[in-house]
Amino acid sequence: MDYFPVFLDLKNKRCLLVGGGDVATRKGRMLSKAGAVLRVVAPEISSELRELVAKHNGELHEREYHSNDVTDCVLAVAATDIESLNKKISDDAKQKNIPVNVVDTPELCTYITPAVIDRSPLMIAISSGGEAPVLARLVRAKLETLIPMSYGKLAHLASRWRERVKARFDNGDSRRKFWEKILQGPAAELAMNGQDEQADKILSDEIATEDESLIQGEVYLVGGGPGDPELLTLKALRLMQQADVVLYDRLVSDGVMDLVRRDAERIYVGKRRSEHAMQQENINQLLVDLAKQGTRVLRLKGGDPFIFGRGGEEIELLAQNHIPFQVVPGITAASGCAAYAGIPLTHRDYAQSVRFVTGHLKDDSINVQWPELANPTQTIVFYMGLVGLREICESLVAHGRAATTPVALIERGTTQQQRVLIADLATIADVVESQEVHAPTLFVVGDVVRLHENLSWFKGGL
């Protein structure tokens, strides 16, 4: 280990910062965040740095550096672009045993600053020992996406209850188990969503109960997006990695399933057209039963759970049974497929509104208000429209939409197998019949489809 990692308490402590440009301002920002009283010395000082100095009643010295500037400081930072001056600051500080950092010059430093992920009070510092700062920054970027912004709130929950939990569990082992359960359970989710009162209520109940069997589970209704796993939200990913059981259906892509916690139990609940592996009522009931056993259940759906996803039905029964749940939106097929096909759903020249319509057949016909869809300045996106495609096109034309209106059928959108078929209302049904088309497909109708020719960018693996 080349450096010993520490976190310094700089609140109300005087820190010397020599330099007044961009780099010094950046350093000043971090020091000020930690509550340091800045003593800034430089012939010219940026306006932001001046404000930072004023914030904690620091000192501004618009002049050259003097050796005694470092006196009474707990820390010194040299951020000038004059090598000899930086060296002098470093020597002066070392002589007085004051930790000193010279920006980008490790050999003159007695300490170096890490790349930081700030979820205060939770802090993560990353360092490459000054050897590869860009690598440290890349690692930080990776971790930033893995560690939710809301972990700060979680740390506050833990700190609020720390003493009470300590008093309740004097055995360190049971205390650790208690915290592990709390920090991954419904109280943690509530705290991260800013619902402190409810989170506190759960903690006080948990502390009061001796009975382990009272542990309550919860359900995460999560949108898995249209296929490309990189389109998952950070929240979806976090919940996917902490669930005990996952209920998923056919629309959830393999790439997305790969990101579910490895040892989570997986239950396939089907949903291919008209051959449901599990009836909707049974799915609803299963969610309730699992949660009642204390399980963290992930109900993972393709796209967005509230857009043609029956998400509402699934959580209604949970609400009736007072089971905690949360809903995480996903990128719906229309947004995902349109983006990856280079078809903006609205455009000032072509479409002022967009409609998402289900082309699902009910009693052998499509139950849609056709006259409302005739407006030529409106983009229409049909979900589940492949089977009724010919009927959809004929009805649109019969109700006044031009037969030459351009249309796109997007097959397996956002995945490596994505394919986009372009035609018009009069011809698409024949084009589709002459090809082998794989579900899922999305049907987009409107003049915006013309933009595909120029804006298509995603090539997939085909």
270 torsion bin: left (phi>0), alpha (psi -120 to 50), beta (else): left
CB of 403 to ligand SAH, least distance (A): 23
Distance CA(184)–CA(129), nearest Å, equals 33
The active-site residue out of 27, 235, 271, 301 is 271
Task: Name the residues that contact ligand SAH, by CB under 6 A.
Answer: 226-227, 251, 301-304, 307-309, 332-333, 337, 383-384, 410, 412-414, 440-442
Numbered residues of the known binding site for NAD(+): 22-23, 43-44
Centroid of chain to Cα 270 = 27
Distance CA(76)–CA(40), nearest Å, equals 10
Tokens 């009162």 correspond to what residue? 197
CB of 319 to ligand SAH, least distance (A): 20
Distance CA(324)–CA(49), nearest Å, equals 47
The active-site residue out of 72, 249, 292, 301 is 249
Q: What is the DSSP string of 298-350?
A: EEEESB-TTSSS-HHHHHHHHHHTT--EEEE----HHHHHHHHHT--S-BTTT
∠ CA 180-185-116, rounded to 5°: 65
**Closer CB to ligand SAH, 290 or 384, in the complex:** 384
Backbone angles phi, psi at 325, to 5 degrees: -150, 160
CB of 307 to ligand SAH, least distance (A): 4
Residues in a beta bridge with 358? 383
**Closer CB to ligand SAH, 36 or 222, in the complex:** 222
**Closer CB to ligand SAH, 115 or 408, in the complex:** 408
Centroid of chain to Cα 345 = 24
Distance CA(178)–CA(134), nearest Å, equals 39
**Closer CB to ligand SAH, 10 or 219, in the complex:** 219
**Closer CB to ligand SAH, 25 or 395, in the complex:** 395
User: Is 244 considered catalytic here?
Assistant: no
Backbone angles phi, psi at 202, to 5 degrees: -60, -45
**Closer CB to ligand SAH, 354 or 442, in the complex:** 442
Numbered residues of the known binding site: 22-23, 43-44, 226, 302-304, 307, 332-333, 384, 413
Distance CA(224)–CA(172), nearest Å, equals 39
CB of 415 to ligand SAH, least distance (A): 6
- Closest residue to ligand SAH, based on beta-carbon distance: 303
Distance CA(300)–CA(224), nearest Å, equals 6
Number of helices (H), then strands (E), in the chain: 16, 19
Tell me how far apart the terminal alpha carbons of the chain are, to the nearest angstrom: 48
Residue count of the chain, please give it: 462
Centroid of chain to Cα 364 = 41
CB of 290 to ligand SAH, least distance (A): 22
CB of 192 to ligand SAH, least distance (A): 24
**Closer CB to ligand SAH, 16 or 237, in the complex:** 237
Count the Cβ atoms, other than its own, within 10 Å of residue 100.
24
CB of 226 to ligand SAH, least distance (A): 4
**Closer CB to ligand SAH, 156 or 419, in the complex:** 419
Numbered residues of the known binding site for S-adenosyl-L-methionine: 226, 302-304, 307, 332-333, 384, 413
Count the Cβ atoms, other than its own, within 10 Å of residue 97.
8
CB of 6 to ligand SAH, least distance (A): 48
3-state secondary structure of 24: helix
User: Is 249 considered catalytic here?
Assistant: yes
Q: Which structure tokens are listed for 224?
A: 């898995």
Distance CA(439)–CA(101), nearest Å, equals 59
Active-site annotation, residues: 249, 271
